[in-house]
Structure 1
């Protein structure tokens, strides 16, 4: 199955961002992708954190969700909608949510980001908990016979989440074949940690990992690292784009995963 990581440099207008996302999704479909993944905050990189609260939508209703559903249906494409702000229990905060739509335009999976980014170095400061309520449940879904695990940006630093995604509710091992990670990594942290962490999660789980990122300097002055990439189950980078808008594609191969898991049966050696 061909998959696509879509890289954006989103701005402060939801309408403009959706227009750019539509163009990238159309490119992905025209290149033969069956699953396309938008980056975190694809619909809005606001001037301030409260901007997310201003454009939040009720689950199941709103222009951003309508755009994702209708585009998936029109293109006959699986779309993982990066993240969008959904209404949650706190009126002053949002849920930072990935919604996955199938080619019929139906909601196939929803994941609310569990780990909220916090970072301070000099004048550079981020505190997602100021405007975001964390989710509580890992989410994986089936996509045309592939088991797909969902994570978002800062989740990448928590390998236990990826392990949890490869277990059934009864505790039985059910490995994911691919993990999707929409992100908006800062330039500061991304330069040092992005690729090595993505490759580590792929190697640990003997699975593909797709990172779809924001990549460039945004209207609000923030600079994101970009480097959207697709890594195979041996930790090899199959495709990457450093900065700017891009469609990054690669083809998932079942034989590659099977070969790696047979030659190095680490998943079967787990004791915890």
Structure 2
């Protein structure tokens, strides 16, 4: 168990249409593998490395066996990068699930050959073991996005352990809905399911995003700070590089003039930051928000 966790926020360029998903995967894995050692967890943006674009959705939606095989190859590349880096990697992909039945207009269920697709985030550890899978629950249909056209919402929260830290995952537009982050902040470790307390619940929430500078970009900063402070967590948000994206950030569990969020620029880079358990503990013990949260009765999500 480590009192400090070193996180690498990976802010790469979005995959171009003349670059295949495998080429983008290798480019980003090379970024991580050439980074100086000591990082415990790398966090990539939403749908990174496959890319968040019309090109991805038109050419690389996993509708065929060949394309699904491609996603398996990407998983293998990421697992090998995690092994070589000696770190966990949280990365984006497209998930799929066969739909056994569909509901007709009269409400009856009939056999279906349809497939549901998900905006998915996976976590692989240094032993090449996949330790978490999360499907985005709150899809985005405003600004530059039209996700429900292709994707289905996820149904379960996801958490994982890294170096003795408990970490939750949300994706991009999930940040707009407070109940999900609260549910993650109250998720106790497996051995203490019935007794959430100051430090046996999630101390970090990750938010991989493809956050373009559309009408919703201005409030991203406000939501990051709110989610961090009201839940007593480090809030780690990653985005793509470029003039239309950028500003990956880490927000501490308490924000004031002496404890400001770290917000980076628009350049492609890996931003290294250190999180401290003592900071989480002090925020949760000194401010009332988290103490009130653990007494609340909130709606329940299933847990994957």
Is the TM-score greater than 0.5?
yes
1:59-118: per-residue Cα shift (whole Å, max 9, x none)?
99611111111110121111001x101222355652111110111111011101111001
Q: Is 1:89 aligned with 2:93? A: no
Task: Count matched residues.
Answer: 260
Deviation at 1:251, TM superposition (A): 0.5
Three-state SS of the structure 1 residue aligned to 2:155 is coil
Asked which structure has the greater CA Rg, the reply is 2
Gaps of 5+ in 2: 100-113, 298-304
Gaps of 5+ in 1: 218-222
Deviation at 1:131, TM superposition (A): 1.2
Identify the residue that residue 150 of structure 1 maps to in structure 2.
169
What is the rounded CA distance, in whole Å, between the counterparts of 1:20 and 1:159 in structure 2? 35
Change (3 A) 1:72 1:55: farther
Q: 1:255 aligns with which of 270, 273, 278?
A: 278
Q: How well do the aligned residues superpose, as a CA RMSD in angstroms?
A: 2.4
Pairwise mapping of residues 66-215 of structure 1 onto structure 2 (< 5 A)? 66-81=76-91, 83-89=92-98, 91=114, 93-120=116-143, 125-168=144-187, 172-173=195-196, 175-189=201-215, 191-215=217-241
Deviation at 1:139, TM superposition (A): 0.9
Change (3 A) 1:58 1:86: farther
Deviation at 1:248, TM superposition (A): 1.3
Deviation at 1:38, TM superposition (A): 0.6
Three-state SS of the structure 1 residue aligned to 2:13 is coil
Deviation at 1:20, TM superposition (A): 2.4
Q: 8 Å contact 1:53–1:131 — kept in the other structure?
A: no
Q: 1:226 aligns with which of 246, 263, 272?
A: 246
What is the rounded CA distance, in whole Å, between the counterparts of 1:141 and 1:3 in structure 2? 15
